[in-house]
Structure 1
Amino acid sequence: MEDSSDGLLLNFSIDNGPLTAPANFKGGRWRDRLTAKYGARYRQKKIASHFNSTTKENSHPKAQDPVPGKSHIDTNDVSRSAKRQRVEESLRPTTTKLTTYSGSREKTEKPHQIISSLFTFNPASKTAADEELNSASPIEPSNAPLLDGLSTFTSLGLSPTLSAHLLLKLELKTPTAIQKATIPELIKDDNDAFIQAETGSGKTLAYLLPIVQRIVNSAGTVGNTNKSNGGGKVHRDSGLFAVILAPTRELCRQISVVLESLLRCAHWIVAGTVIGGEKKKSEKARLRKGLNILVATPGRLADHLDNTEALDVRNVRWLVLDEGDRLMELGFEAEIQGIVEKLEKKSQLTKARVSPAGSLPNRKVTILCSATMKMSVQRLGELSLKEAIHLKTDSSNSEEIDGRFEDNFSAPAQLQQSYAVVPAKLRLVTLVAALKRAFVRRGSVMKAIVFISCADSVDFHFQVLSRQNRDDENTKPSAKQELTSGTKLAEDKQVPISTIASATSLCIPDNQVTLHKLHGSLPQNVRTSTLAAFSQSKDPAVLICTDIASRGLDLSNVDLVIEYDPPFSKDDHLHRVGRTARAGRDGRALVYLLPGDEEGYVEILKESYRDGGKRLCRNKVDEILKRGFGSSGVDSGKDWEERATEWQLEVERWVLEDPKNLEMARRAYQSHIRAYATHVTAERDIFNIKNLHLGHLAKAFALRDKPGSIKAPGTRGNKESRKVRRQDGAAAKESQSTGEENKRSKSSRDISMSDPAGVARMKAKMREHMAGISEFNIG
């Protein structure tokens, strides 16, 4: 415009947008101020562009009708760009001004924002999707009982009584391939043996049947035949004949159950267990009464050999090492070596190599069982086996090279394996979608197992999937509920330990799914009752567990195995998927992988197939989400994205509303990252912790914290994040904790190291606090 007074030309450009003063941000950290500044600038540009577009629409009206009832501009209704994060309307920030407490560097708590950006900025997969699995051609099971019409348990050398018991009571008509190869050798010879067969092929019966048969045949040749209750049969006082070692308490329980079912046809033979977590006083009483077959964990058996005089091992004829690779992985090498040496030292058996027919071995026979043959298993064989024979099925791919067995072991042939490349932010919703799809039709899937890397993550996902029925956690369960629902009151806390709940978060119509959780930090009686409840359940059920349930457990009707966290090694994968497709039955397995380097794990998965992985297929993430969250019967576009987003928002609100839930999610996040760093060295380039996107991974745990505020490996926290934030009442809590610490230190000073009872209490307390540290690899 031109001023007529002095001819001065003023060149001002006035835009059509609204005039607003620039926001002034004060206080807080510079990074927070910069973020708020950029956010305000972006919103200002969007308002201006919307104002310009509205002006043009008013001057050139279109066919689209305006929204009724809105004559003014609402900044919250501005159309978003395609990659803008969605912010829930009810939880938008009310102000952008940052303030600080006087004398403190901590900023005030900002309004809680639940931001959902599940489907934006996700890394793309590096590999192309595979073709769909062609299931038209049937696959012959590799671990099913033989159907050649010639192999029967009687033809293998078992007595008619025992064979009839297997047929009528246990419904076992014919043996499996490994049983056919093993039973005759162990009945007629006294050689040490290494039994190798795939999961679900019946290795437990392969060594139990010969032991029971030879003890039954030795009637009248052992012990006191004048006993009124013996009548020439073996009885309690005849001595201990067999010791069976297993790596986990759950596997010991299962072996004991199978053994007890066999001994119903020979009730005079007594079997028992000694495992960790049980009362040693009752175990000593059981040993004093007398046992013929003992099932034990290595640590507890070594303890009894040192401290229990009633345990007489002078006449032990068999030592069985079940799941030998797992025994070595858990660090039981020293205990097993000590057990072998003590059995040899205390043995009073003759040195004869051949036993008369129908009698017990004249020497200690060692049997090593394993589904895989690794260097650790070979080292265990060198410690325990002497001139051993290798018993395997014809379908095994192990070869003996230079005196050592090279392992090419594979999964059952009828197992349908698949994988899914899932971005970190979509992991949680994809897991829920897969479970919803699996149980949407009643009877399609009866039981599923979800393997997770660590105990804290198991607790978090169990609570997430059952969170709607966890309102009254302080209600004390009745005695009946404790027995049937796996709930037990902790000894030192008046809160229930619940391991069974309804999967209400899945929202599956007309199909009630029950959740079970299992990990090594739970009390032993809770673990036992939970596993029994899942195994005996007649309704659809899901078991969320660590690798504690990956070895040797025979859980009936398991149709689906989901490896939510990839296994720590290839062998762990074989054992995990071996919980399904057992004894010739069908089964499915799904493993989750992250985009990027983890996709290289597909080549390792293909090695577990006899055909080189031709039947291994890839499940698309969009298809899993669409089937789990999409509308049934109609194609309504991408409504599944909205439903998945709403479900994620609901979980994030649930985490933010309760400090206990937030702390549980943070612990699960931290433990998951620590567990991720424990992959074997050979696969470390595939599972590289440095390549993890910690921010996206936090989304999978419903966390809104930045990774820097969570103490995790690979992150650089500032001084403020390493300090405990002050809250209301912090001084009172600090004084209270100081008083409790003084009491604990005083009680510790009062305990003299010469007091055995005091030392025992201190060790028990230390074991209680250290219980969860080894959860990453041993469950």
Structure 2
Amino acid sequence: MSSLIKFHPQSSELLQYAKGDEKRPATTEPVVVPQLLVGGTTKAAEDLSAFLRLSPNLLIGTPGRLAELLSSPYVKAPSSSFEVLVMDEADRLLDLGFSQELTRILGYLPKQRRTGLFSASLSEAVERLITVGLLYPHKITVRVKSLKDGGIIQERKTPMSLQMSYLVTPASHKIAALCQLLEKLEPRPSRSIVFFSTCYAVKYFARVLHGILPGFSTVSLHGKLEPQVREKNFERFVNATSPTVLLTTDIAARGLDIPQVDLVVQHDPPTDTKVFIHRCGRAGRAGRRGMAVVMLQPGREEGYVQLLDVRQTPITPLEKPAISVTDAEAEAVSAKIRAQAQADREIFQLAQRAFVSWARSYIEHQATSIFRVSDLDWVDLAKGYGLVELPKMPEVKGIDRSLGLGIDTESIPFKDKVREKKRLAELEKWKQEKAARDAARANGDSASTKRKSNEAWSGKQEQEDTKVARREKKRRKREAQRLGQMTEKEREEQRKLEDLIEEVRKRNAAEASTAAKAGGGGDDDFEGFDD
């Protein structure tokens, strides 16, 4: 059987493919012997050893590890046996900066081959790759057409079985609205996916949503998890027999063929608008009915609907099931989350990191005319995250960081007794050092106390000393270069000038010393210029 290579930009999407563990059998019948090549899960030497042992005819992998394997002198792709190259999510491959790896891979492969590029959207980079890297390219486009009012036929980028809607709701109501959606949707969704913008947000909500979502278990999937943990969580979600919600980032927006996903909720609209359609596409696959809902804050964010319509991705207001969250219901959810943060300092710290990471992601949004930081209600956002207090950020300057809750965050303990004991010891040490600094300052030794404080906490004095040493070194180097470019006569004149300057300094110092002895050395006496 001819050899075939298929590769994908992200390792998590490859975990569902079969892994071969036996050498290709000697038979005249077509037999598929696959090998999975993913960086981070196995070492390159182990992959090479498996390749030589199994003699696979189907390689499935990420670009980096595949290029590394093909570069080995023990691996060859002769034109007599190699036939097919498949690039899944081709536009994403180039967006992630795999251009060099793709060039290396194409260089190792014979030019006489069949190459397939698959993607739900084609970028300009893919078009360039088609022009430069393919012979006799043919483009096949699959479109969905629907009949609008008035008998107008409109092309769609999503299947008719997928309902795409939006819900306008304040940030503080989003989690409560998610709970209502899961509870009211008929039939009850067995598998749901909720997208967040950052890994820390996924990690945080995976901790605090236990017991808040009505009768649903949660599974997290994001890029900061170890590959083995991602694989375990992915399989746990796919094989779940009870209603389960997958909390994830855009790592699950492409390539994952998860069966029976009924609902996709975008808690945060994607930074890249092209990702929107890929997120929605996790539901409504293979003719199965599905729903995708994006949550938008009132005001300027509602312009996201018009932006998607321009990009031929129309969405409609969510009407069924009807979602109506009161302020009291939203506050009840926030209170449950805050209670968890007050009981465990680890959750409190995680909430701070998650909120800061979300703010950074929002600032980097590509549609800056719609998603503007200046329009945000930070207090309302903090309620949506169930924060005990706002983190220190330039954007929240002038806002009451305590949110009017009056919670002493310094007293929030760690549930882990070892961590709490260490924290209390460090806190006591800090209080003692602060008391010593205050006492020294009261005795008039504020300058030395400040210098000592800076050295202990930030190392600024050491950094300044290093900078001074570097500047002096550069000055001596420039001086040496300047002297090296002088003639002998110019160097002699330079030495005479330096001797004259030194003589003047000594005379000024002697006169200043004499004047100090005669007049008592007042602070206002002029002591000459220092170089």
Same fold (TM over 0.5): yes
Q: Is residue 378 of structure 2 the alignment partner of residue 694 of structure 1?
A: yes
1:286 aligns with 50
Q: Quick check: 1:287–1:310 contact (8 Å CA) kept in 2?
A: no
The structural deviation recorded for 1:334 is 1.9
Residue 688 (structure 1) shift: 1.8
Q: Counterpart of 1:336? A: 102
- Structure 1 residue 295 displacement after superposition: 0.6
What SS is found at the alignment partner of 1:368? strand
Q: For residue 68 of structure 2, what is the aligned residue in structure 1?
A: 303
Contact (CA 8 Å) 1:420, 1:620: kept in 2 or not?
no
Distance 2:428 2:39 in 1: 40
Per-residue deviation, 1:392: 2.1
Matched AA of 2:353: R
- The Cα shift of 1:608 comes to 6.1
1:689-713 CA distance string (max 9 Å, x none) = 232222221221111324xx4236x
Q: Tell me the residue number matched to 2:365.
A: 679
Which of 195, 207, 215 is residue 463 of structure 1 equivalent to?
207
In 2 relative to 1, CA 396–313 (structure 1 residues): closer, same or farther, beyond 3 Å? farther
Task: Specify the alignment match of 1:527 in structure 2.
Answer: 230
Change in 2 beyond 3 A, CA 1:620/1:535: closer
Counterparts of 2:410 and 2:99 in 1: how far apart (Å)? 45
Give the conservation status (yes or no) of the 8 Å contact 2:88–2:119.
yes
| 1:506 is aligned to 2:213 | yes
Consecutive unaligned residues in structure 2, runs of 5 or more = 147-154, 403-408, 412-422, 431-454, 456-531
Q: What is the CA deviation profile of residues 324-377 of structure 1, one whole-angstrom value per residue up to 9, with x for unaligned ones? A: 11112212122112221233xxx4x7xxxxxxxxxxxxx122211111122232
Cα RMSD (Å) = 3.6
* Deviation sequence 1:512-548 (CA, Å, 0-9, x none): x221110011111111121112112222111111111
Does residue 322 of structure 1 match 2:88?
A: yes
**1:677–1:305 distance in 2 versus 1, CA, 3 Å:** farther
In the TM superposition, residue 717 of structure 1 has moved relative to its aligned partner by 8.6
Deviation of 1:256 (Å) = 4.5
Alignment of 1:273-422 (within 5 A): 273-280=36-43, 281-289=45-53, 290-306=55-71, 308-315=72-79, 316-343=82-109, 347=110, 363-393=112-142, 395=144, 410-422=157-169
Distance 1:604 1:650, change over 3 A: same
Q: What is the Cα deviation at residue 716 of structure 1?
A: 4.5
Change in Cα spacing, 1:255 to 1:368, as seen in structure 2 (3 Å) is: farther
- Matched-pair contact (CA < 8 Å) for 2:182–2:214: no
Which among 392, 407, 416 is matched to residue 710 of structure 1?
392
CA contact (8 A) 1:271 1:293 kept: yes
How many residues in Structure 1 have an aligned counterpart in Structure 2? 400
Letter in 2 for 1:573: F
Amino acid at match of 1:703: L
SS at match of 1:703: coil
CA contact (8 A) 2:267 2:295 kept: yes
Q: State yes or no: 1:624 paired with 2:323.
A: yes
Q: Distance in 1 between matches of 2:164 and 2:222?
A: 25
Q: Measure the CA separation in 2 of the matches of 1:590 and 1:266.
A: 48
CA distance in 1, matches of 2:125, 2:364: 18
Q: Deviations over 1:237-279 (max 9, x none)?
A: xxxx221110111222335479x9xx9x967331111012211
CA distance in 1, matches of 2:88, 2:333: 44
Q: 1:550 aligns with which of 249, 253, 256?
A: 253
Please say if residues 447 and 558 of structure 1, whose CA atoms lie closer than 8 Å, have aligned partners that are also in contact.
yes
1:581-600 → structure 2 map (5 Å cutoff): 581-600=284-303
Q: Could you tell me whether the CA contact under 8 Å between 1:411 and 1:609 is conserved in 2?
A: no
CA distance, structure 2, for counterparts of residue 287 and residue 257 of structure 1: 12
Does the aligned pair in 2 maintain the 1:445–1:540 contact within 8 Å?
yes
1:97-136 maps to which residues of 2 (within 5 A)? none
User: Which residue does the alignment assign to 1:729?
Assistant: 425
- Could you say what secondary structure the match of 2:360 adopts? helix
With normalisation by structure 1, the TM-score equals: 0.47
- Contact 2:172–2:330 (Cα < 8 Å) also in 1: no
Paired residue secondary structure (2:16): helix
Distance between the aligned counterparts of 1:391 and 1:544, measured in 2?
34
Distance in 2 (alpha carbons) for counterparts of 1:653 and 1:521 = 26
Identity %: 31
1:517 is matched with 220
SS at the partner of 1:319?
strand
Offset at 1:653? 2.1
After superposition, the Cα gap between the structure-2 partners of 1:522 and 1:445, relative to the gap in structure 1 and judged at 3 Å, is: same
Counterpart of 1:300 in structure 2: which amino acid?
R
Q: What residue identity is the alignment partner of 1:369?
A: F
State the distance in 2 between where 1:452 and 1:266 align: 47
Higher helix share: 2
- Report Cα offsets for 1:87-113 as digits up to 9, x if no partner: xxxxxxxxxxxxxxxxxxxxxxxxxxx
User: Aligned pair in 2 of structure 1 residues 294, 646: CA closer, same or farther (>3 Å)?
Assistant: same
1:421/1:620 contact within 8 Å kept? no
The one-letter code matched in structure 2 to 1:302 is A
| CA-to-aligned-CA distance 1:666-707 (integer Å, 9 cap, x gap) | 011011111112322xx221112232222221221111324x
Contact 2:162/2:289 (8 A) holds in 1: yes
The CA deviation at 1:664 is: 0.5
Task: Write the distance in 2 (CA, Å) between the matches of 1:715 and 1:385.
Answer: 52
Give distance in 2, aligned partners of 1:378 and 1:591. Answer: 30
- CA contact 1:465–1:506 (8 Å) conserved in 2: yes
What are the superposed Cα offsets for residues 488-530 of structure 1, whole Å, 9 maximum, x if unpaired?
Answer: xxxxxxxxxxxxxxxx32244xxxx221110011111111121
Q: What residue in structure 2 maps to residue 437 of structure 1?
A: 184
Retained in 2: the 8 A contact 1:462–1:544? yes
1:652 pairs with 2:351: no
Verify the 8 A CA contact 1:271 1:292 in the aligned structure 2: yes
Distance 1:620 1:423, change over 3 A: farther
Q: What is the rounded CA distance, in whole Å, between the counterparts of 2:309 and 2:160 in structure 1?
A: 12
The equivalent of 1:68 in structure 2 is none
Within the candidate set 350, 353, 374, 1:664 is matched to: 350
Contact 1:372 1:409 in 2 (8 A): no
| Greater relative contact order (CA < 8 Å, ≥ 6 in sequence) | 1
Residues 118-146 of structure 1, C-alpha deviations (whole Å, 9 max, x = no match): xxxxxxxxxxxxxxxxxxxxxxxxxxxxx
In the alignment, is the contact (CA less than 8 A) between 1:418 and 1:618 conserved in 2? yes
User: What is the identity, as a one-letter code, of the residue corresponding to 1:710?
Assistant: K
Q: Residues 393 and 427 of structure 1: is their aligned pair in 2 closer, same or farther, counting only changes over 3 Å?
A: closer
Conserved? CA contact 1:320–1:366, under 8 Å: yes
Contact kept? 1:434, 1:624, Cα under 8 Å: yes
What SS does the corresponding residue of 1:392 show, helix, strand or coil?
coil
2:348 and 2:388 in contact (8 A); partners too: no
Given the two structures, how large is their TM-score scaled by the length of structure 2?
0.68
Gaps of 5+ in 1: 1-214, 219-240, 350-362, 398-407, 467-503, 627-639, 739-779
